[in-house]
Amino acid sequence: MKLKFLKFLTVSLLTLIVLSPELVVLSVVWEQHMQLVETQNFMCEFNSRAASSQNTSKTAFQQECQKYAQDLVSIKIFDAKLFNSQLSLIQLYKYKIVDFLKWFFLLFPICLGILIFLYDRYLVYRATVFQRQVDILEKLWHESIEQ
């Protein structure tokens, strides 16, 4: 039973190591896609407003564009600008959790690989120390037999 669990754990970890970079790339691409869709929706909405009312001045357009740009920047930066925007606290935590998961999926396989490499080196070191001790004991044993 232990062997089956160990094999399952090994396969799961190797799958996570292989798939984690793809998940990070996919999440970054998805985030950029969502920002693109949001920008396109904003532009369509603004064009429909501009078409319905022809007396919209350029200053109103500039103010609305600046407000939208500030909202996009505040989503990216996660500082005081985020609290000034119209995002709620739940959305803030959602973005932070997504960032944490991206970093976790990126760094976990790297750290796991380093730990496996270091453990392998440690086992080699322990084997050489043990072999030296065995050689010393064999020399002492041969000397005691000769005397």
pLDDT tens-digit series, residues 7-23: 888 888 788 777 777 77
Q: What's the CA gap between 111 and 129, in Å, rounded?
A: 27
Give a yes or no: residue 135 inside a domain: no
Give a yes or no: residue 20 inside a domain: yes
Give a yes or no: residue 129 inside a domain: no
Give a yes or no: residue 76 inside a domain: no
Identify which has the larger pLDDT, 132 or 61: 132
Residue 14 pLDDT: 80
pTM of the entire predicted model: 0.41
Note down the domain range covering 17.
2-56+88-106
Q: What's the CA gap between 29 and 102, in Å, rounded?
A: 12
Domain count, the chain: 1
Give a yes or no: residue 75 inside a domain: no
Is the separation of the CB atoms in 96 and 87 below 8 Å? no
Give a yes or no: residue 122 inside a domain: no
Give a yes or no: residue 14 inside a domain: yes
Give a yes or no: residue 125 inside a domain: no
